[in-house]
Amino acid sequence: MAKKTIEDVQWQGKRALVRVDFNVPMNDAGEITDDTRVRAAIPTITYLSQHGARVILMSHLGRPKGERNEKYSLRPVANHLQELLKGIHVSFADDCIGDTAKEAVGALKDGEVLVLENVRFYAGEEKNDQELAKAFAELGDVFVGDAFGTAHRAHASTAGVAAYLPSVAGFLMEKEVGIMGEALASPKRPFVAIIGGAKVSDKINVIENLLPKVDALLIGGGMANTFLAVQGNDMAKSLVESDALETAKRLLAVAKEHNSRLLLPTDVIAAKAFAADAEYTARKVNELKADEMALDIGPDSIAVFQAEIKAAKTVIWNGPMGVFEMPAFAKGTFAIAEAMVEADATTIVGGGDSVAAVEQAGVADKMTHVSTGGGASLEFLEGKTLPGVAVLEDK
Ligand code: ADP
Ligand code: MG
């Protein structure tokens, strides 16, 4: 990656102000239900600590709407981090700016870690308020951007603060941007992308950006219905976006123009109701009954998609192939995950629901990269420059 990283800085005795993404899901009892994001930040934190930095971590948690709200306190996350970081002292500051934060920073010894309270307790955070950004900057000597999951937002702690401090990438940021950036810029071929999910409108820009780059684009999920409808199939009760028909038509034309192979399902799993216990059967896309809806890709499509994936050298996947939350309609999605595991390829998964599916299938660690950022990875695949990446210094 063309950005400076934490390896380009002499850390001994310096205050590393690190923006991490500790926006973890919590249950009503205030317990962390999935600590993936906390663990994803450990390599950066450990490196900084081992190199003698005083490590100051800032993050948001949930949507406290610019006000202090104990429900969204990062204290439980700091406690959990202490359990994960055996041997490294972790403390917590009850505020993310001002005297409380400054005193806590002042008390840090080299190698110690401090977690600041939720940056979204201040309304200026999401407005990228420059005064707030300066107040953050006073706490550190060098800014480290490691919150890939929030890098698509220009907020005070992700972007604004970088104007006032030397700014470098952490290991998570480097990995996310490096692997996805290389896959897009110079993919090993064949390069296959699989796009799914509910709506075409969510993924237009991704499809548009990927079409000229890939050798094949496989489309499944609810959004495939809209493309299939454009091609003259009667999708019956399936989810079809009437206001995205023109867009789908245009994307099919773009594919033709670039000679890109855009593959749609040839068969689907048809059900009479959007329900886990609905009766279902496999049908060709042009043979749906009037009272049926397509809730997954069918076995013929699975076979074709799997063959494409297994022959590929680079595979990027965003969006499930069906309503994978219901086991009856999860086969297509899991079949994609399985083929990616078997492929001798660089395999990348992005998108909240696709990542959840891969984790459910128990194969997350068999992928080259599972992105920690749903929205951020989507914008990255759209070819956009992420503000939280742009502010980091070039090598
Ligand atoms: P991601 O979070 O991976 O980007 P999306 O949010 O775009 O994925 O889409 C995921 C949602 O799409 C899931 O909730 C899934 O149930 C839904 N979905 C997939 N296929 C269909 C379909 N055929 N009909 C209705 N909904 C679908
Ligand atoms: Mg989603």
Are 169 and 199 in the same domain? no
Model confidence at 351, in pLDDT bands (50, 70, 90)?
confident
Pocket of ligand 1 (CB under 6 A): 197-198, 202, 221-222, 239, 294-295, 318-320, 322-323, 325, 351-354, 374
Asked if 64 contacts 117 with a C-beta cutoff of 8 angstroms, the reply is no
Are 187 and 161 in the same domain? no
Pocket test for ligand 1, best of 201, 321, 353 (most atoms within 8 A of CB): 353
Q: Is the pLDDT of residue 2 over 90?
A: no
For residue 259, what is the domain's CATH number?
3.40.50.1260
At which of 173, 199, 223 does a domain end? Answer: 173
Are 257 and 168 in the same domain? no
Are 341 and 194 in the same domain? yes
The total of structural domains in the chain comes to 2
Residue-level pLDDT at 1 = 59
Cα–Cα nearest to 38, from 93, 87, 86, 85: 85
Identify whether 391 is part of a domain: no
Domain of residue 121 covers: 6-173
Asked if 350 contacts 371 with a C-beta cutoff of 8 angstroms, the reply is yes
Identify whether 361 is part of a domain: yes
Are 17 and 72 in the same domain? yes
Residue-level pLDDT at 130 = 98
Which residue, chain included where needed, has tokens 């297509």? Answer: 332
Question: At a CB cut-off of 8 Å and minimum separation 6, what does 365 contact?
Answer: none
- Flag whether 153 is marked binding: yes
At which of 173, 191, 211 does a domain end? Answer: 173
Q: Is the pLDDT of residue 306 over 70?
A: yes
Coil/strand/helix, residue 391: coil
Q: Is the pLDDT of residue 307 over 70?
A: yes
Query: For residue 297, how far is its CA from the centre of ligand 1 (angstroms)?
Result: 12
Q: Is the pLDDT of residue 229 over 90?
A: yes
Q: Where are the alpha helices (DSSP H) in the chain?
A: 36-50, 75-84, 98-106, 130-137, 171-185, 200-210, 222-230, 245-257, 299-310, 331-342, 352-360, 374-381, 387-390
At which of 118, 150, 173 does a domain end? Answer: 173
Query: For residue 356, how far is its CA from the centre of ligand 1 (angstroms)?
Result: 12
Asked if 325 contacts 192 with a C-beta cutoff of 8 angstroms, the reply is no
Q: What amino acid is encoded at 264 in this protein?
A: L
Asked if 334 contacts 324 with a C-beta cutoff of 8 angstroms, the reply is yes
Identify whether 299 is part of a domain: yes
Query: For residue 69, how far is its CA from the centre of ligand 2 (angstroms)?
Result: 27
* CA gap 267, 287 in Å, rounded: 9
Instruction: Assess whether 375 carries a catalytic annotation.
Output: yes
Model confidence at 93, in pLDDT bands (50, 70, 90)?
very high
* CA gap 296, 220 in Å, rounded: 8
Residue-level pLDDT at 258 = 86
Pairing of strands 15-19, 54-58: parallel
Cis link prior to 190 (omega < 30° from 0)?
A: yes
Average pLDDT rounded to a whole number, residues 338-347 = 98
Instruction: Assess whether 250 carries a catalytic annotation.
Output: no
Are 342 and 251 in the same domain? yes
Tell me if the pTM is above 0.85: yes
Q: Is the pLDDT of residue 165 over 90?
A: yes
Instruction: Assess whether 197 carries a catalytic annotation.
Output: no
Cβ-count burial 109-124 (b if 16+ within 10 Å, e if not) = eebbbbbbbbbbbbeb
Residue-level pLDDT at 259 = 87
* CA gap 392, 386 in Å, rounded: 11
> Range with the lowest mean pLDDT among 145-149, 221-225, 257-261?
257-261
Percent of the chain with pLDDT over 90: 96
Identify whether 395 is part of a domain: no
Q: Where are the alpha helices (DSSP H) in 326-373?
A: 331-342, 352-360
Are 200 and 155 in the same domain? no
Cα–Cα nearest to 321, from 304, 310, 335, 311: 335
Ligand closest to 353 (CA) is 1
Sign of the CA dihedral 130, 178, 207, 325?
negative
pLDDT digits (tens, 9 = 90+) for 250-299: 999 999 988 889 999 999 999 999 999 999 999 999 999 999 999 999 99
Question: At a CB cut-off of 8 Å and minimum separation 6, what does 234 contact?
Answer: 286, 288
Are 375 and 284 in the same domain? yes
Instruction: Assess whether 249 carries a catalytic annotation.
Output: no
Query: Could you tell me the two tokens for 315?
Result: 């595979």
Q: Is the pLDDT of residue 28 over 90?
A: no
pLDDT digits (tens, 9 = 90+) for 369-379: 999 888 999 99
Are 219 and 151 in the same domain? no
Model confidence at 30, in pLDDT bands (50, 70, 90)?
confident
Element (H, E) at 314: strand 314-318
∠ CA 215-204-378 to the nearest 5 degrees? 80
Identify whether 389 is part of a domain: no
Write down the mean pLDDT value for the chain. 96
Identify whether 151 is part of a domain: yes
Please tell me the residue having the least CA distance from ligand 1 atom 7. Answer: 197
Are 165 and 212 in the same domain? no
Asked if 347 contacts 191 with a C-beta cutoff of 8 angstroms, the reply is no
Identify whether 65 is part of a domain: yes
Identify whether 1 is part of a domain: no
- Flag whether 23 is marked binding: yes
Are 200 and 321 in the same domain? yes
Q: Is the pLDDT of residue 121 over 70?
A: yes
Are 238 and 288 in the same domain? yes
Check 66, 178, 181, 375 and give the catalytic one. 375
